[in-house]
Amino acid sequence: MEDEFNYQAVPYGYTHCFNTHCPKGEKCLRHLVAMHSTNQYLRCRC
C-alpha cells in the first residue's frame, strides 16, 4: 500500500533535488519532495 504524499507537510525552505540520474534518488527525501512539488519550481534537465 502506498501512502499519499502531502506536499503541505514539507517545511518551508526544504531543499528539493531534481537530479533524475542520482543513484540514491529512489530513497532520497529531497528527491521525493521534488517529484511531488507544485508548479512553483522550475524543472530543467542539466
Query: pLDDT at position 40, please?
Result: 63
Rounded to the nearest 5°, which phi and psi values hold at 9? -85, -10
CA 34 to CA 41: how far, in whole Å? 9
Query: pLDDT at position 23, please?
Result: 94
Which residues, 6+ apart, have CB-to-CB distance to 36 below 8 Å?
Answer: 5, 7
Task: Give the pLDDT confidence of 1-46 residue by residue, as tens digits.
Answer: 466 888 888 898 888 898 889 999 999 999 999 888 866 666 655 5
CA 8 to CA 27: how far, in whole Å? 20
Query: pLDDT at position 29, please?
Result: 92
CA 46 to CA 19: how far, in whole Å? 8
